[in-house]
Amino acid sequence: MIGYSDEGIVTLSMASGRYEQLTAFGQWPVWLPDSRHLLFVSAGSGFHAVDSVTREVREVFTVRRDVLGPPRLTRDGSQIVYSRRTTEADIWILTLDDEF
């Protein structure tokens, strides 16, 4: 999708100092409370979760036209807070008087 830097999810091991690429797509990752899974946004239109051990990616939630913002989790991981932007418009018609 144009306009999104969806370059992938990478972790850094503090013990080894090595980077590990978990996915080739995604942005704005947050750790789930189990410290094994990451929740992230892909192309601004869906939440995915990746298992940091198996690297299995699972789709959690997607939208069609909206743009999802970065997810934030409650402390226990039971709820996600995020922004959801929708571009909508109304069409207004104005009839002008002859004097105008």
What would the pLDDT profile of 21-47 be if each residue is shown by its tens digit?
A: 999 999 999 999 999 999 999 988 899
pTM score = 0.76
Domain count, the chain: 1
- Please state whether beta strands 46-51 and 37-42 pair in parallel, antiparallel, or not at all (unpaired): antiparallel
In a domain, 37, yes or no: yes
Domain span holding position 25:
10-85
In a domain, 25, yes or no: yes
Cα separation of 24 and 52, whole Å?
13
Cα separation of 29 and 9, whole Å?
7
In a domain, 56, yes or no: yes
In a domain, 92, yes or no: no
The model's confidence at residue 58, banded by pLDDT at 50, 70 and 90, is very high
In a domain, 93, yes or no: no
In a domain, 97, yes or no: no
In a domain, 28, yes or no: yes
